[in-house]
Every structure is written in C-alpha cells, then in structure tokens.
Amino acid sequence: MNYPFLLLLFLSSLNASSAYNAGKSLYMQKGCFSCHGNKLEGLHKYPYLANRAKNYMSYKLKRFRSKISDNQQQEMMIPFAIGLSDKDIDDLTTYMYEFVEEKNKDKYDDSYQVSGDGGS
C-alpha cells in the first residue's frame, strides 16, 4: 500500500482546512464584511465573493496590492490589499472559493408555552 501518498493527502487536507479558517479570520479582521457582507454575498454595489474562482480572486488582490485597478470604484480596494502577504491572499481566496454558509445554531427560542387561565 502507498502509505506516504495517504499521509500526504491527509496533511494537505489539514492545510486546506487551516487556510480556510485563517482566511475567514483575516476576512473579519480586515473588515471585508463591511462591503462584501458576512456571507460574502456583496452589499449594495459591491460584488459577491462567495465561491468565486480562486485564481481570479488571487489575481485581483495581487493587482490591488500593486496599486493597480481597472476602474475608479475598485481603487478603494488598494488600501485594504497593500498589507497582504502572498500567504494572506492565498488564505483569503481559499476562504472565498470554499465558502459554505454556516447555519446559526443559537436561534431565538420561541417554544414558550403559556400556562394557566391568564387570570391574576
């Protein structure tokens, strides 16, 4: 059996998971959610980022980091991207590409039942 291959596969899946979590943390720290939303859905005139092509998003972030934009609206991304390392960009784009909406487990409990006749 090819044990080194299985070990490599396992380690790469751990790395992908940590890249996703690191990207998620970075997304929140940098304030990306302010314009692109908590669910990466895009708000108002700002584009959605969820499940976008990883290489395309990496290309765009690296261009913003180099102070290059395609239009005036995109220029606002430059200050956010300037401080990003290649690893940060890889983590962010992993999070964007692999994004899966988490269901809110702590929902309001509306199972309250009135007991008694409602009198005093």
Residue 107 lies in a domain: no
- The CA-atom distances, in angstroms, between 104 and each of 17, 33, 101, 108, 115 are 20, 17, 9, 10, 29
Instruction: Give the CATH number, domain containing residue 90.
Output: 1.10.760.10
Domain that holds residue 71: 14-97
Instruction: Per residue of the chain (120 residues), give pLDDT as tens.
Output: 565 655 555 555 555 568 999 999 999 999 999 999 999 999 988 999 999 999 999 999 999 999 999 999 899 999 999 999 999 999 999 999 999 887 755 555 566 666 767 665
CA dihedral 70, 72, 73, 75 (to 10 degrees): 80
Looking at residue 79, its pLDDT comes to: 94
Residue 114 lies in a domain: no
Residue 20 lies in a domain: yes
Residue 59 lies in a domain: yes
> Number of structural domains, the chain?
1
Looking at residue 109, its pLDDT comes to: 58
Residue 32 lies in a domain: yes
Task: Name the pTM for this structure.
Answer: 0.71
Residue 117 lies in a domain: no
Residue 4 lies in a domain: no
